Structure 1
């Protein structure tokens, strides 16, 4: 796996971008596991809290959808810069005029607009990876991307607040997030300027750019496999985004865990994904992308989601038992890593549009996870939400039996390293 250009699948030419993603998402993740409860503590209802995250997720889905094509048209570096600046400005407005004044409409407005920022930053970097990494190595490269994402939003983003909240309070911790986002944003702006060449689509006419942007919608209808891959990717992270909203209500609100204990449990989940993202990224090249997603991702997440609810309910306030489903979910949710490589392979002539659909899927997952929670909670409580996520994971497993993906052959790729464009492909048999 070692070579002059990569280290165990990590593209060395992009290493500062990977680090920037980890630092940026650390700041973005500070709020993830406690903001929902913080909003209810300010006097708002759980449904109102869930709606804040739903609006945020909708904006994130919109930004995620457009980021692939936008990054291809204006360059990933410029798109990342826009996302960074938008995050900082909207977070300040959210803190001062939204939470600070306990003004619910302004909370929805500014937090919603801020939802446009992080997908534009991180998914534009995905486009930079696609532009600079051979397709047979995309699974490994994306494994490292999601590992850095996990280090940021999960480990540092969840674990550090468990110490800063007792010291700075929840409001102080939310302000502290800006320092991390600024560090990651400035790192990307300064250290990625000369990475990669100018995209061939950067010189398109305005009309041609609009046509290319429209493909981020039309390929959903012209390429059935892209549509199926989109559904699978949406389901992928429902538990990640959904449990961050509903599980603090269970662990802290009902089972007697402290907020710090819950944050540490959530951080363990993300800590595990650091290693499993890399592991599954590499293993997917041998097991088969879709085969791995079906058995270890879909089925694994269905089992892990149920365990995340039933083990704590069964054993009560038992910190060590609560870690078991966190580890299980950390192992299984990362098995979806090869899905990032699937999209550009399914639409090789329009990679930007394909990545936009991938990003749209990830953004819709961010949107639908709390949306499902807000719809199901009033009728079936937390248990009903967990069972809904479980059923959707099983549905995704069925969809993997239908999708057809031509996975690039590692052997053929090695024989054609000097002629990347002619790399052969072999079917990922399901």
Structure 2
């Protein structure tokens, strides 16, 4: 995502690197081509992971407060064991009957509102959002898509057209309209202003002869700068898209599977029931498995007209990994842990803000937090340069975070759900050290 690249990216020649790192970068460029990006001014070479820790080639430990892929911790033993056992027994797909995929679907759907009745399997979040749009457009007969202005929803051709965070060189579709994310409104009626923006986007689509099909957002507005918002924040926007015949897609790739703490899904914090829910990264804790859950009536038209099959989506090994993730979330009380440790982090960030005026708003829920970095604490003027220095300063102190938001000035903190209070205290201590140096 372009905003994360702006605050994290390695820029060749900007810093002096050791011989081994330089050689790896040169080899990577020669073999993988120019499109890949590396994080941090001084890239990292990891060889092992365990829990909340990543270890480099020299055995140095880095506290991972960012990686949402392995959301229940690196190399979680439940997931490792499930994959190992299943891959040695059977690895086949959904064109054959297999009880485990049905058991998992039943179990996952039970975590959602009863209106959501079907589950389809894909391999990635991009894959899931691509399928979700096909379903939505089949159901509504429309093409128009409404997203927030710095949203990220994936990398397929169709999905990149409504992922503005990919940057100005990746064109949005003519059927796509963007609206400012809720953190853009600093008024008492954030929900009302957000609803009005979505309504305006609907009118603009219609004015150009495009029938609205869907409004899609993630439950924490992750790429827009992380925003938890007031209760019922998106209800008006969801009502607006439904009033015009469209549907609401909840993208839970980043905010789902307990990430926001109190609820399993980000949309539950907003008091709405989606028409379609998409899932990805955390579903298999690093194993490629993703999905689309939907109201049966929304999926009916697509299912009647289209035959869906995904070679690897819902394969037996993927389902074993995904089931182990649910086991870990339930058995280890990870939702409660996200609430407790997330609240502790927020309190500590506020304490730091009282000492360092470079910290503006502190936002988020559970273990998905955003810390705004500003040059003026009153005007809340975005300060991307200082955010970059903090992110790279933490990297040099062996703590990994990232950045996001349109102005690239929000620290994006998204540790594994197994992150403890002790881990959080270490991160806060390192952040205080970096801030003291900058001050």
TM-score tier after normalising by the smaller chain length: under 0.3
TM-score, reference length from structure 2:
0.27
More relative contact order, 1 or 2 (CA 8 Å, 6+ apart): 1
Larger radius of gyration: 2
